[in-house]
Each structure stands twice: as C-alpha cells, then as structure tokens.
Amino acid sequence: MNEKRNKTIAKSAVVLLTGAIFAFMTTSCSVLDWFGGKINDEEITDMEKDMGTPNQRATVYDESLKKFGLMLEAYNIASTKVQSKVISNDTAEKTLPDDVSKIMATSLNKMGRNIVFIPYDPNYVINESTTGGNINRSLPDIVVAGGITEFEKDLIEKGRDLKMEGQVQKGDWGSKYNADGGAGYKAGSNLSRMTLDLNLLDYKTQAALSGIQVSNTINIRKTNLGWSIGAYFQGCGLSFDYSLKKQQGIYSALRMLVELSVLEVLGKYFEVPYWRCLEGAQPDQAMCTRLLEEFTDLQEANQGAYLKEYLFLHGYDNFDRSKGFFNETEKQSLNEVMKQQAVANKGDLFMKLWMTVPLDEARKRIRDNKKVVELKRQELAEAQRKAQLIEAQKKAAEAQRAVQPQPQAQPQPQPLPAAVQPKPKAPAATGDSKEKPMGLGPVNEF
C-alpha cells in the first residue's frame, strides 16, 4: 500500500515539476529567446569588442623602401615618372591572384617624392574623355613589366607518425578488469616555390633596358603538428587530440616578392647601391664591375666631374665642381682624400665614394646647394629684369623724341653792305678811362 502511495506521489511531483518548467519556459522571454536562437544587443556589443580595430599593414620591406627613397635624394636623382603594366599570373596555378599591379603601385608610392607613380588605366581615361573630361595626362619615363612565372606546389613534402597503444584484458596478469590506453604523435611539412620576374622598358621606345631585370624566388612553407592521448577502463574512457596547422600566406609572400624586386630593379636603373637598404644583403658584384669599367673608359674631364660630385656629397668643399679637370691645389687635396680612403687610383676612389655616400649629410648638402642656386637664379633674374626695364625706358624715350616736332631755326639777319652801314659814334672822352674805344686806332695805343 505504501509503495503504491509513494509511486503516486512521485508521479504527481514529476507532473508538477514538468508543468512548472513548461510554464516558466512559456512565460520567460529569455528562455524563449535562448531556444529560438535569438541574437541580443549585448552579444553584438561583445562581438564588436572582440573584433578590435584595424591596424596599419606593416611589411618586412617597409623601411627598406623608405630608405631607398632617401637614397635617391642623397644621390641627387631627379624625379622620375614610373608606370606599371599588368603584373599577371603567367602560371597554371589558379590559387594565385591574376594581377598584383595594386601591390606594385603601393610599393612604388612608399619610395617617396622622387618616384612619381603613373597608373595604367586606359578604360578610365577613355571613359573620362567620352564624357567630356579634360585630362592633362602626364606620361611616364619608364615602365615596369613582368609577371609571376613559376609556382611549384608541394615541391618537398615530409611526414612523421608515431603511435603507441597498450591493452589489458580481464584475467591478464591477475587483472580483474579490462583496460587499454595509447598515445600518438604526427608531424609533417611541405614547401612550395614562387618566382616573380620584372624588367624595365623605355616608355618612348617601348624597348627593354638591357641588363636591368630581376628574377626573385620565395619559398612558402606549410607545417602540421598533432598529438593525442587516450585511456579506457571497463568500456569507459577519455581521449584528447591536439592539432596545429601553419601555412605562410601566398598573398603576403607575393607582397614581399614584389617589394624586394621593384627596389632591386629601380636600384639597377638609377645605378645606386640599393643593397644598403636591405638588411644583410651583399653588394651586386656584376653592377659594381660594370660601373668601374664605365668609369675607367671615361675621358679625364668626365672622370673629374664624377669624382668632384661625389666628393661634394661626402662633405669636401675645396673642389670646383664647374670644371672637370683638377688644378694643382685640387690635385694635392685629391691625393689627401685618396690616402684617407685607402685607395690607390681614381677608379677605386670613385667606387669607394659611390658606395659610401652618407645619406643624411648628402641630402642636407643638396638641399642647401639648391637654395644657393635658387638665390643666385633669382638675383640674376632680378638683374635681367632691371636691365630690360632700363632698356625699355631708353627705347620709349627715343620713340617719344622721334614723334615730337623739331623747332624751326630762326632766320639770321643779313649784314648790310659796308657803304650803307652807319658809322659808330665815338664815346665821350674821359681822362681815366682804360676801355678801348670801338673801331678806332690800333691796340698798342692803350
């Protein structure tokens, strides 16, 4: 009897509890929202906080590109307009981007004011002209061309796998239970390779510039690492697995490849030691050899002009840069410089000065020199303006005199004949007068 009664009470309790839960669920908005999967405002706020704020994209070669722009200023390179063709994907790999010209544009703009980027967008120019736009186009001096020429996917692939398991059955070694466990380790990596080729064209002739090209390769790695552990006892157990996969981004690798390649190809074009902008880079021996040969083949006056220019950038002011030859005083100073630089001839001195121009000091000297030249130009222009003004005033005065009427000459009275001329009267005689009477007597009478 009591057992039946207890079952009835239990059933009633269950029914009441179920009803209470159901009533709570149907009356509570939060519970309904939870079951309905509704997103509330607090979740949106938390998500925005977790998203964070955008950060400026920094790359490995950011500082190198900026330093290259400063180098162009230090070597007194004139502002150059550069355009880029479509840098396309010339491989069969479809995971690569079709065009990286936007990355090229950003890389060129990072170099500063001495590099003026001219976008290549013929559709925009045509559409603007069609709709009445008046575009005064600025034509480039040189054009960057090239593309992605190689992509070797999974060129090298390695893998390691290690497993260890153990099991004990009931009755083994006196065991009263069934138990088993194990652990495992797995690791692997692979490597892909991508190559970018760039070269320069002369815009006016569309001819490739000989010897100015680069072909750089970057390796893209992917790694996998994982391990697991598990144990079971009498049919119940627990296991834990961990895995980590790392893959270098293809687009990030492309950006690095483009920035390095455009710095190198422009460094060859401007003939500056661009490797000084790249940490750990070695000198371009082919470029150095070519420059030394070209300097050696120059006439003595041209050699002197180059040496004086780089001596000026190094802070030497006792050389007349308006003349290519060295006078006796300058020759003595040149010998002193050669001793300081530990070189034996002009060719070695030129290469030493060319490779070691102090960037900050040279930029300052060039700016100061430009100010002096500009001041002299203004003074000369002012002197020319004054001379032109004086000349114009003279011409205006001469023109005015030519227009004015000349005064007519008064007629001179004709002298009367001697017979008709009246005779002068003698003045009254005075005793003390020393004045010679007019027309009378010889002079010696007085």
Chain segment 311-327, per-residue pLDDT in tens: 999 999 889 988 889 99
More confident residue, 169 or 262: 262
Residue 30 banded pLDDT, cuts 50, 70, 90 = low
Residue 443 banded pLDDT, cuts 50, 70, 90 = very low
Distance CA 281, CA 288 (A): 14
Tell me what pLDDT residue 85 has.
92
Distances (CA, A) of 341 to 131, 192, 272, 302, 384: 63, 46, 20, 21, 45
- Which of 251, 264, 214, 213 is CA-nearest to residue 64? 264
Distance CA 385, CA 379 (A): 10
| Mean pLDDT of the region 282-303 | 93
The token duo for 445 is 């009478």
Tell me what pLDDT residue 242 has.
87
Distance CA 307, CA 344 (A): 14
| Mean pLDDT of the region 356-382 | 90
DSSP-derived 3-state class of residue 328:
helix
Distance CA 303, CA 334 (A): 13
pLDDT higher than threshold 80 for residue 306: yes
This prediction has a pTM of: 0.73
Mean residue pLDDT across the chain: 82
DSSP-derived 3-state class of residue 196:
strand
- Which of 110, 108, 113, 112 is CA-nearest to residue 82? 108
pLDDT higher than threshold 50 for residue 437: no
Residue position matching structure tokens 């309904």? 32
Tell me what pLDDT residue 435 has.
41
Q: What is the pLDDT of residues 238-270, one digit of tens each?
A: 888 888 888 888 899 999 999 999 999 999 999
Tell me what pLDDT residue 426 has.
46
- Which of 72, 76, 60, 84 is CA-nearest to residue 115? 72
More confident residue, 218 or 10: 218
Distances (CA, A) of 370 to 97, 363, 373, 376: 45, 11, 5, 10
Tell me what pLDDT residue 428 has.
46
Distance CA 355, CA 437 (A): 103
Q: What is the pLDDT of residues 103-132, one digit of tens each?
A: 999 999 999 999 999 998 888 888 888 887
Angle made by CA atoms 358, 360, 362, in degrees to the nearest 5: 60
Distances (CA, A) of 59 to 106, 126, 216, 440: 12, 35, 17, 120
Residue 229 banded pLDDT, cuts 50, 70, 90 = confident
**Structural contact between residues 103 and 62, judged by C-beta atoms closer than 8 angstroms:** no
Q: What is the pLDDT of residues 50-95, one digit of tens each?
A: 776 777 778 899 999 999 999 999 999 999 999 999 999 999 888 8
Tell me what pLDDT residue 400 has.
82
User: Per mean pLDDT, which range of 34-38, 262-266, 279-283 is the poorest?
Assistant: 34-38
The amino acid present at 279, given as its one-letter code, is: E
pLDDT higher than threshold 60 for residue 436: no
Q: Please count the residues of the chain.
A: 446
Alpha helices, H only, 342-434 = 346-355, 359-403
Angle made by CA atoms 351, 207, 257, in degrees to the nearest 5: 65
pLDDT higher than threshold 60 for residue 27: no
Tell me what pLDDT residue 444 has.
41
Tell me what pLDDT residue 36 has.
57
Residue 445 banded pLDDT, cuts 50, 70, 90 = very low
pLDDT higher than threshold 90 for residue 9: no
User: What does the radius of gyration of the chain's CA atoms come to, in whole angstroms?
Assistant: 49
The token duo for 156 is 């090298």
Distance CA 279, CA 77 (A): 23
Tell me what pLDDT residue 427 has.
46
Cβ burial of 384 (10 Å; 0-12, 13-18, 19+) is exposed
Residue position matching structure tokens 């009275």? 413
pLDDT higher than threshold 80 for residue 33: no
Give me the phi and psi of 243, to 5 degrees please.
Answer: -145, 145
Q: What is the pLDDT of residues 390-428, one digit of tens each?
A: 888 888 888 888 776 655 555 555 555 554 455 554 444
DSSP-derived 3-state class of residue 85:
coil
- Which of 323, 314, 312, 330 is CA-nearest to residue 372? 312
Tell me what pLDDT residue 177 has.
76
Tell me what pLDDT residue 396 has.
83
CATH code matching the domain that covers 62-169+177-277, chosen among 3.40.720, 3.30.70, 3.30.310, 3.40.50: 3.40.50
| Mean pLDDT of the region 213-231 | 90
Strand partners, 222: 190, 247
Which residues, at least 6 apart from 221, have a Cβ–Cβ distance to it below 8 Å? Answer: 189, 190, 191, 192, 246, 247, 248
Most confident range (mean pLDDT) of 23-27, 127-131, 331-335 is 331-335
pLDDT higher than threshold 80 for residue 176: no
Percent of residues, the chain, with pLDDT higher than 90? 43
Distance CA 373, CA 181 (A): 86
pLDDT higher than threshold 60 for residue 201: yes
Distance CA 266, CA 331 (A): 35
Distance CA 354, CA 304 (A): 14
